[in-house]
Amino acid sequence: MKKLWAEMFGTFGLVFAGTGAIVINESSNGAITHVGIALTFGLIVLAMIYTFGDISGAHLNPAVTIGFWAARRMEGREVLPYLGSQCVGAMLASGSLRLLFPQSRLLGATMPAGAETQSFVLEVLLTFLLMLTILSVSTGAKEKGITAGIAVGAVIALEAMFAGPICGASMNPVRSLAPALVSLHVEHLWVYIVAPVLGACIAVPACRCVREKECCCAPRATV
């Protein structure tokens, strides 16, 4: 249960701070800026990894959890409880933002700036690079190396900085699911659920191509 509480609290922090930065940026006429939003996402992930990484791995992301399972670093029986905890944390965060900022229309929901296909491909590639980084700096299903938080947080900030204006740079199904459901804007939600999971799964065989074969084909280990 400690792992599930950690995932819930960590995902709450991610969605509350990250999408909260978007909402506050809109409310303050751009005081935070796009760069500030990207850095907020990277820094909150960094903080949550150092806070909960040794407990649950600080996945904070269903795509990452599924990626660890595909890489045989996680028991299948742990996947659904992790996903449930992440969904609860994200929904609580978006619900809190709705209470604090009732005037916000989207609550930081991700929306394509152009065609859905363009955003879909971008989300696949962004999550692929993120998961490849995570697999390389993690031990088992945990990001607990001393520099793991810096590496993962930096990749998220970087990708949000350059791709955010086009696709939102979600890379995380629950980060998009919660604000979309609470704000009732679900018209493009499928892109941000399917693409990150696909990108994370593609990263697993890519990791095997460049690292020792034990990287992603060892017997499934508990977290």
- Does 223 map to a domain? no
What CA–CA distances, in Å, run from 221 to 174, 202, 216? Answer: 24, 20, 11
The list of the chain residues with pLDDT below 70 reads 139-146, 212-223
Q: What is the pLDDT of residue 215?
A: 62
Question: Rounded CA gap, 138 and 114, in Å?
Answer: 35
Return the number of other C-beta atoms located less than 10 Å from residue 105's C-beta.
Answer: 11
Q: Which residues pair with 139 in a beta bridge?
A: 142
How confident is the model over 124-141, as pLDDT tens digits? 999 999 999 999 888 655
Q: What is the pLDDT of residue 223?
A: 31
The 3-state DSSP class for residue 142 equals strand
Q: Which amino acid is at 1?
A: M
Q: Which residues pair with 48 in a beta bridge?
A: none
Residue 110, Cα to own-chain centre: how many angstroms? 13
- Does 112 map to a domain? yes
Question: Rounded CA gap, 23 and 164, in Å?
Answer: 15
Q: What is the pLDDT of residue 219?
A: 41
Nearest to 84 by CA among 213, 219, 177: 177
Which residues, at least 6 apart from 15, have a Cβ–Cβ distance to it below 8 Å? 89, 90, 93, 94, 174, 175, 178, 179
- Does 221 map to a domain? no
Q: Which amino acid is at 112?
A: P
Question: What total of structural domains would you count in the chain?
Answer: 1
- Does 144 map to a domain? yes
Nearest to 53 by CA among 123, 146, 126, 133: 146
- Does 81 map to a domain? yes
Q: What is the pLDDT of residue 222?
A: 32
- Does 32 map to a domain? yes
Q: What is the pLDDT of residue 54?
A: 86
Domain of 209, CATH number, reads 1.20.1080.10
- pTM value surpassing 0.85: yes
Q: What is the pLDDT of residue 100?
A: 97
- Does 119 map to a domain? yes
* Residues comprising the chain, all counted: 223
Q: What is the pLDDT of residue 139?
A: 64
Q: Which residue reads 């619900």 in tokens?
A: 95
SS3 content of the chain, % helix, strand, coil (to 5): 70, 0, 30
- Does 86 map to a domain? yes
Full domain range(s) for residue 150: 2-215
